[in-house]
Amino acid sequence: MNGGGNMNGMGGGNMNGMGGGMGMSSSPPPGAVHHRHMMMHMTFFWGKNTEILFPGWPGYDHSAMYILALVVVFFLAFIVEWLSHCNYIRESSNRLALGLLQTLMYAIRIALAYMVMLAVMSFNGGVFLVAIAGHTAGFFVFGSRVFKKQSPPPEVLGKNSDLPPMSFC
């Protein structure tokens, strides 16, 4: 601590809003914007006051936005399962175009899967449950035998999906 109340040049004398003793002012510097900072949880917790994917979203004390965030996470997980089990690419003579389309679908699936993973890393119990529910519902609709057609077309035989299986190991 130097003579001006700063700790090794970090300035402000605020200590991240903790106030503190030693004559430091707890008021922000002029022109500073007041934001409500949320604590980063490292264990699962329950509640609607969380941040999911983006700073400030769904916000603090916004039940409707929290529910919207849960719906978004559910559908992200559902779409990941759809992409994991879809069979829409048909063989043709243009293998380069097919390879590029398959690669694009793979990139989208992986990006969405990582978004679901990052949402779960908010450690919010509701987000965790809707991510599991989205993956489960997506598998039930697209991966299980419940909604499969009786006999697949001949060009699909021996092919489970357009994309390789997901591996997180």
The domain ranges of the chain are 1-34, 35-169
pLDDT value, residue 76: 97
DSSP state of 12: S
Separation CA 52–CA 65 (nearest Å)? 11
How big is the chain, counted in residues? Answer: 169
Radius of gyration over every alpha carbon of the chain, rounded to an integer in angstroms? 24
DSSP lists the bridge partners of residue 51 as 58
Is residue 86 within 8 A of residue 106, CB to CB? The reply is no
Q: Is the pLDDT of residue 58 over 70?
A: yes
Percent above pLDDT 90 for the chain = 36
Which residue type does 28 have? P
What pLDDT is stored for residue 30 in this prediction? 55
